[in-house]
Amino acid sequence: MSDEHGPEPARNESEQSEVHRGLSRRGFLASAAAAGGAYFLGRFGPASAQTPTISEDDIVVPDDPTKTLGMSLSQRGLRSPFVHVQRQINDPNAPLGAAGWTFSPLQDLEGTITPADLHFERHHSGVAMIDPAEHRLVVHGMVQQPKQYTLWDLERMPQESHIYFVECSGNSLAGYPGGDADSTAQSIHGLVSTSEWVGVPMRHIVEDVGLDPASTWALFEGSDAAVMTRSVPVEKLMEDALIALYQNGEPIRPAQGYPMRLILPGWEGNMQIKWLRRIEFGDAPFYTKEETRHYTDRLPDGRSRQFTYAMEAKSVITRPSPGQGLAGAGRWTISGIAWSGRGRIERVEVSTDGGSTWEDAALLGESRTRSTVRFHHPWEWDGEEAMLMSRATDDTGYVQPTREALLEVRGPDYTYHYNGIQSWRLHPDGTLSNGYVDA
Ligand SMILES: Nc1nc2c(c(=O)[nH]1)N[C@H]1C(S)=C(S)[C@@H](COP(=O)(O)O)O[C@H]1N2
Ligand SMILES: [Mo]
């Protein structure tokens, strides 16, 4: 790929009319009107010239849907007004652009794919909004031919499709201090989401720039206000790293790093640089802030663990779970997800008696490497108090540890990579609460 890039594909033209720089949409329309409306509308004109897009306010639920004409067609779909799924914002009052995160509503989801608008978010300086026409990915350092790529350059390279989870290494950290009784699957474990990612394998970029054989590490840098940087071993780049352009069938969303983000299958979310703008090859780690001051952990003997990449095998029961209780005794399906950053989930066991006895759960669909798999387990509830747990085993033979075993090794100063077994206490009234509250 050269510094030259051809004209943008025609399909982007209609979207250009919606783009406005440094102005709110209202401000943009006002200034466009003042200029005599002389702005480019694109081939199909503005969205308002078409069938209106239906909003929540337009929804009417008739008494008898067979006696009432249905709603109009719409350009973008809506969820049923009877389905309430939303991300949980860690601090809704945080100032604009502040570091923050939102949790995926695990207790409301089934299967494995996370709808893109419910993918968890973790931003260190808010969501960067990037015009792909202005964006370049620069690749330099220990390479034979430094290059820069536009989104359209990458579009022309060979691509692959893979289903992988992304998990923040801070996911489930409520497990260390014990959490609160009113914690939910979402608020404890919702910093994990799974998507189909389509993009250019990093090994093609490496081949394109001609790597210096002495290079062993690369720095990845984002173009958000945090300018987030992380070092990644070249070995991982050649194995399965992807520059993702698409997520679940559409261009990745701004919150996930539009127009391009790094996917490092199975490794901690922090390394998977969003809004990717620069890759620098070197022969040692770059020791960035995110891998020295942050994303390291102190062990009981005073030493620190650094470069803790792979997310270990974990599982969580999502139904029943707090907020998703049982209406009464009888037959139910226990449902949950399991995943491992080291390989494929081979087995999930379920206990309903606090870990005294375990039974194998059924894995639904294909269990893929570095992806989530859904498990179901039919269960007859006698209406008595019960303690529900799940335990994952991956194809390396690694078994998800109990909370006690994990705390024993990690000590009191640990924050990241919590993967202990989650227990949910099922009360006789059918409600559930976090089973490991310390207080
Ligand atoms: N440029 C940039 N990349 C980033 C971040 C960021 O703040 N800026 N956050 C990181 C962290 S800590 C995580 S867990 C993942 C979250 O990805 P998501 O928001 O798509 O779920 O992105 C990582 N990549
Ligand atoms: Mo993270």
Query: pLDDT of 362-415, one tens digit each?
Result: 999 999 999 999 999 999 999 999 999 999 999 999 999 999 999 998 887 788
If one counts the domains in the chain, the total is: 3
For residues 279 and 407, state if they share a domain: no
pLDDT of residue 319: 98
Strand partners, 332: 379
For residues 236 and 190, state if they share a domain: yes
> Residue 390 in contact with residue 337, Cβ under 8 Å?
no
Ordered DSSP codes for 196-224 = EEEEEEHHHHHHHHTB-TT--EEEEEE-S
Q: Which atom of ligand 1 is nearest to the CA of 221?
A: 1
In a domain, 427, yes or no: yes
**Average of per-residue pLDDT across 88-102:** 86
Among 342, 184, 210, which Cα is nearest to 264's?
342
Whether residue 259 is preceded by a cis peptide bond, meaning omega within 30 degrees of 0, is: yes
**pTM, whole model, 2 decimals?**
0.90
Distance between CA atoms of residues 306 and 294, nearest Å = 9
Q: Which of the listed residues 305, 325, 359 is the one where a domain comes to its end?
A: 305
Instruction: Find the CATH number of the domain harbouring 245.
Output: 3.90.420.10
In a domain, 15, yes or no: no
Residue 130 phi/psi, 5-degree rounding, is -125, 130
Q: Which atom of ligand 1 is nearest to the CA of 290?
A: 12
pLDDT in tens, 307-360: 889 999 999 999 999 999 999 999 999 999 999 999 999 999 999 999 999 999
Q: Is the CB of 220 under 6 A from ligand 1?
A: no
For residues 268 and 325, state if they share a domain: no
In a domain, 109, yes or no: no
* 192-201/160-167 β-pairing: antiparallel
For residues 343 and 244, state if they share a domain: no
How many C-beta neighbours within 10 Å does residue 73 have?
8
Q: Is the CB of 274 under 6 A from ligand 1?
A: yes
Instruction: Find the CATH number of the domain harbouring 360.
Output: 2.60.40.650
CA of 168 to the centre of ligand 1 (A): 8
The letter for the amino acid at 226 is A
For residues 358 and 421, state if they share a domain: yes
Domain residue limits at 292? 137-305
Burial zone of 165 (CB within 10 Å; 0-12 exposed, 13-18 middle, 19+ buried): buried
> Residue 253 in contact with residue 116, Cβ under 8 Å?
yes
Which among 123, 246, 258 is the best mutation to test ligand 1's pocket, defined by most ligand atoms within 8 Å of the CB?
A: 123
Check whether 18 has a pLDDT greater than 80: no
> Residue 336 in contact with residue 317, Cβ under 8 Å?
yes
For residues 301 and 197, state if they share a domain: yes
For residues 351 and 294, state if they share a domain: no
Window from 33-42, 169-178, 400-409 with minimum mean pLDDT: 33-42
In three-state secondary structure terms, 68 is coil
pLDDT in tens, 203-218: 999 999 999 999 999 9
For residues 337 and 419, state if they share a domain: yes
Distance between CA atoms of residues 155 and 439, nearest Å = 54
In three-state secondary structure terms, 48 is helix
Measured from the alpha carbon of residue 228, the closest ligand is 1
Residue with tokens 């194995």: 239
In a domain, 378, yes or no: yes
Q: Which atom of ligand 1 is nearest to the CA of 169?
A: 14
How many C-beta neighbours within 10 Å does residue 409 have?
10
For residues 335 and 274, state if they share a domain: no
Residue with tokens 């929540």: 56
> Residue 428 in contact with residue 383, Cβ under 8 Å?
yes
Check whether 13 has a pLDDT greater than 50: no
In a domain, 77, yes or no: no
Which among 122, 135, 264, 295 is the best mutation to test ligand 1's pocket, defined by most ligand atoms within 8 Å of the CB?
A: 122
Distance between CA atoms of residues 327 and 333, nearest Å = 13
Check whether 105 has a pLDDT greater than 70: yes
Window from 37-51, 304-318, 425-439 with minimum mean pLDDT: 37-51
> Residue 234 in contact with residue 277, Cβ under 8 Å?
no
Close Cβ partners of 49 (under 8 Å, ≥ 6 residues apart): none
For residues 335 and 289, state if they share a domain: no
Check whether 17 has a pLDDT greater than 80: no
For residues 243 and 356, state if they share a domain: no
In a domain, 80, yes or no: no
CA of 184 to the centre of ligand 2 (A): 19
pLDDT in tens, 269-289: 999 999 999 999 999 999 998
Atom 20 of ligand 1: nearest residue by CA position:
256
Distance between CA atoms of residues 352 and 209, nearest Å = 55
In a domain, 180, yes or no: yes
Distance between CA atoms of residues 377 and 398, nearest Å = 21
Q: Which of the listed residues 277, 305, 333 is the one where a domain comes to its end?
A: 305
In a domain, 361, yes or no: yes
Q: Is the CB of 103 under 6 A from ligand 1?
A: no
For residues 200 and 298, state if they share a domain: yes
